Amino acid sequence: MSDLPFNRHLTAAFTELRKDLIHEEGPRISTMRSYRFAILQYDPADEFVLRDEVQRLATDLVGHGWRVLALDLHKLLVDRVRAQGPEWAQRVVALERQIAAVHPERGLNHLKSKLAPLIEGEGGLAAECIRLITEDQDRHPNTADRTLALVGRAGSLYPFFRTSALLRHLDGRTHGVPVVLLYPGRCEDRNGVTGLSFMGRLPVDHDYRPRIYRGGA
């Protein structure tokens, strides 16, 4: 039994997600069968409670004959940084410290400019997610209806990451596998439209097509 606090909003969101995944007619996390994307939003302070809920969901799905593919954005970025070689990372960090000592904001912008090509665009982390999903489906063909790709650890990429762009680049390239992005942030409703603020700090972004399962404020 976990010692983590119970969060009824998060538990309800996962219960609803599970119900929509294990549907008699196939996954129903979206109103469009050809667009199997969803977002599960949660308060960043509930990161460890979220991981407990993820583990319960994964165990439950596996027990029902599913496979769960965990896509760790933090690990994917670290692997990409390491692939640049140790000297690259040392140079970037050294220059960032030098600039930040005089102009902290410029130092951060320098770091963003170096990390952006590894994170953003079609060749960024979206490409890594697509590669892993494709490799999984090559090994296990015809299992899209019983496979879940969970994209997590997005919070570790703050403030270098925009999740709406990631989902756009994944669209149409995930072999029909349901993809759920675990989103640390805040929801805001305006004129009947739900927007999301990444980590509760960035400006609210309304550029989201996927269904949003709300597990936090």
Inform me whether the pLDDT recorded for 1 exceeds 50: no
Mean pLDDT of 84-105: 90
**Is the per-residue pLDDT at 43 higher than 50?**
yes
**Which pLDDT score, from 0 to 100, does residue 2 have?**
53
Candidate from 22-26, 37-41, 74-78 with smallest mean pLDDT: 22-26
pLDDT at 213: 94
Per-residue pLDDT at 53 exceeds 50 = yes
Distance CA 161, CA 48 (A): 21
Per residue in 139-156, pLDDT tens? 999 999 999 999 999 998
In order of start, what are the domains of the chain with their CATH numbers?
8-76+121-214 (3.40.50)
At 3, is the pLDDT very low, low, confident or very high (cuts 50, 70, 90)?
low
Q: What is the pLDDT of residue 191?
A: 73
Cβ–Cβ < 8 Å for 159, 202: yes
More confident residue, 167 or 206: 167
Cβ atoms of 158 and 199 within 8 Å: the answer is yes
Tokens of 120: 């953003």
Per-residue pLDDT, averaged over 185-201, amounts to 83
Cβ atoms < 10 Å from Cβ of 196? 23
Judging by beta carbons within 10 Å of its beta carbon (0-12, 13-18, 19+), is residue 49 exposed, middle or buried? Answer: buried
Averaged pLDDT for residues 32-53: 90
| Count of alpha carbons within 13 angstroms of residue 123, beta-carbon side | 4
pLDDT of residue 137: 96
Half-sphere exposure of 100 (CA within 13 A, CB side): 13
